[in-house]
Amino acid sequence: MSGHNESILREPLITGSDITYAKITDDILMPVENKPNRAWWIGFIVSLMGATLWLVAVSYTFWNGIGAWGLNKTVGWAWDITGFVWWVGIGHAGTLISAVLLLFRQNWRNSINRSAEAMTIFAVICAATYVVSHMGRPWLAYWVLPLPNQFGSLWVNFNSPLVWDMFAISTYFSVSLLFWYTGLLPDIATIRDRATGLRRRVYSIFSFGWSGNVKTWQRFETVSLILAGISTPLVLSVHTIVSMDFATSVIPGWHTTIFPPYFVAGAIFSGFAMVLTLLLVARKVLGLENYITMFHIESMNKIIILTGSIVGVAYLTEFFIAWYSGSEYEAYAFVNRSTGPYWWAYWMMMTCNVISPQLLWFKKIRLSIPATWILSIVVNIGMWFERFVIIVTSLHRDYLPSSWAMFYPTWVDVSVFVGSIGVFFTLFLLFLRVLPSIAIAEVKLLLKTSSEQAKLAQIKEGHLDKVQVKEYVESLEKFDSVKQEEYAKI
């Protein structure tokens, strides 16, 4: 805690010159303790309309069966599994931020992990509803579980990646929820101790009686570290298994060993894009510029360049191997993807996922909030198309040319997808109102070491290397929340 200062070369993680522990609590709890503003209500009503649409479309599917979707004899998976993989992928960034970055001691995760993890949970909920509704007879969804049964005592097929997927997604969801909720306990206690009346009672129940004594905190840190340690391989395994839903089949275009790493990179790529889409708005509307700084945004953009480039390399490798393998079916699947009737989807994917993220190499673009926000949405569109291309173009022209077909979505397909976005945003907006969107306790940890004011005090003491100080002051220029004139005289 005390005794040593962080290197001046590291950019501050909390900006502003009058930040105290009390101010951190006040700033972060502002949306929780006050009435929502107009922006929130508008967003919430629009999302709720989306969620209602989802309810209608999913009920319609349950009632009429999956014939309500545009699927046909040839294309048996389309928007449903596209949506499923898209949502699961989005979820991965939350775990990456909370687990992998914790193991690597990346302190900048402290101010974005809470909302990213919430996003994970909501995204996995959206994904899981797709899995259930695509089963056709959702009331029999429990058949995927290995339960003793009366149907001739036939067990589930443990060799099937679809069964692995059930285990992976349910473990992922429950472990993420556990990790998220355990981290929330101290912050719920903070709300509890500031509230009165009924509000205090409600938060008291959900705080599990947290008191913040030494032993609880010490154990808390052990638990967080172990959970991070086990969540890291978990998150990698989840998308690996999702990719095996495809890779273990014998469909050209799916049957490739590159799928697991390629899907995992794609998942992190799309997840970080979604985190940016949400947080760039949340930081502005909730006034959290001092905690989610330009440094955070730039760091996330750098991860997007990295994972986007991995995805790009994977696309090219896949293409090369399709030709190099000498398998004419495989080669055809790829020629058909890029030049066949779905060429527009393929090139949409290529542009959005491979070309446009490369713009982030330019510092100006990387540090521009509007540009970053637009690019984050472009990436998400691209990643949706990636899954669509993989699924539909591999299926629509099978081994028998007489059964070649195209896929046309019905209004139900479109409504389930648009509606699931509504469900996601409804849950996220409710989360912003009832729980702190930033991990309060974890941000307080940074105040004395990594905040702008601590570093400014260090500079004023005057024992630091002049060159390093100069470099530090220059790095502050990109921050929109730093008062530059304070540094003009240094």
- Write out the residues near other proteins by the rule CB under 8 A: 1-2, 20-22, 25, 146, 153-159, 161, 163-164, 167-168, 171, 174-175, 178-179, 182, 185-186, 189-190, 192-194, 204-223, 226-227, 230-231, 233-234, 237, 241, 244, 440-442, 444-445, 448
Minimum separation from the CB atom of position 438 to other proteins (A): 13
Is 177 or 359 the residue whose CB approaches other proteins more closely? 177
Minimum separation from the CB atom of position 198 to other proteins (A): 14
Q: Is the dihedral of CA 28, 34, 39, 42 positive or negative?
A: positive
Determine the length of the chain. Answer: 490
Both structure tokens of 285: 């509307």
Is 245 or 413 the residue whose CB approaches other proteins more closely? 245
Q: Rounded to an integer, what distance in angstroms lies between the CA atom of residue 390 and that of residue 336?
A: 11
Q: What letter would DSSP give residue 11?
A: P
Minimum separation from the CB atom of position 149 to other proteins (A): 11
Is 210 or 295 the residue whose CB approaches other proteins more closely? 210
Minimum separation from the CB atom of position 28 to other proteins (A): 11
Q: Rounded to an integer, what distance in angstroms lies between the CA atom of residue 251 and that of residue 333?
A: 9
Is 99 or 278 the residue whose CB approaches other proteins more closely? 99
Minimum separation from the CB atom of position 142 to other proteins (A): 16
Identify whether the C-beta of residue 345 lies closer than 8 Å to the C-beta of residue 304: no
Is 152 or 370 the residue whose CB approaches other proteins more closely? 152
DSSP β-bridge partners for residue 458: none
Q: Which amino acid is at 173?
A: F
Is 223 or 355 the residue whose CB approaches other proteins more closely? 223
Cα 50 to Cα 41, 119, 418: the distances in Å are 14, 17, 7
Minimum separation from the CB atom of position 243 to other proteins (A): 12
Q: Rounded to an integer, what distance in angstroms lies between the CA atom of residue 76 and that of residue 89?
A: 21
Query: Three-state DSSP class for 14?
Result: strand
Minimum separation from the CB atom of position 431 to other proteins (A): 19
Q: Rounded to an integer, what distance in angstroms lies between the CA atom of residue 58 and that of residue 447?
A: 47
> Cβ-count burial of 74 within 10 angstroms (0-12 exposed, 13-18 middle, 19+ buried)?
middle
Is 214 or 400 the residue whose CB approaches other proteins more closely? 214
Give the rounded distance of the alpha carbon of 271 from its chain centre.
Answer: 3
Q: Rounded to an integer, what distance in angstroms lies between the CA atom of residue 383 and that of residue 375?
A: 12
Is 178 or 316 the residue whose CB approaches other proteins more closely? 178
Minimum separation from the CB atom of position 188 to other proteins (A): 9
Is 254 or 346 the residue whose CB approaches other proteins more closely? 254
Minimum separation from the CB atom of position 119 to other proteins (A): 20
Is 52 or 237 the residue whose CB approaches other proteins more closely? 237
Q: How far apart are the first and last CA of the chain?
A: 28
Minimum separation from the CB atom of position 173 to other proteins (A): 10
Identify whether the C-beta of residue 381 lies closer than 8 Å to the C-beta of residue 348: yes
Q: Is the dihedral of CA 16, 452, 181, 281 positive or negative?
A: positive
Residues 361-399: b if buried by 16+ CB within 10 A, e if exposed: eeeebbbeeebbbebbebbbbbbbbbbbbbbbbbbbbbe
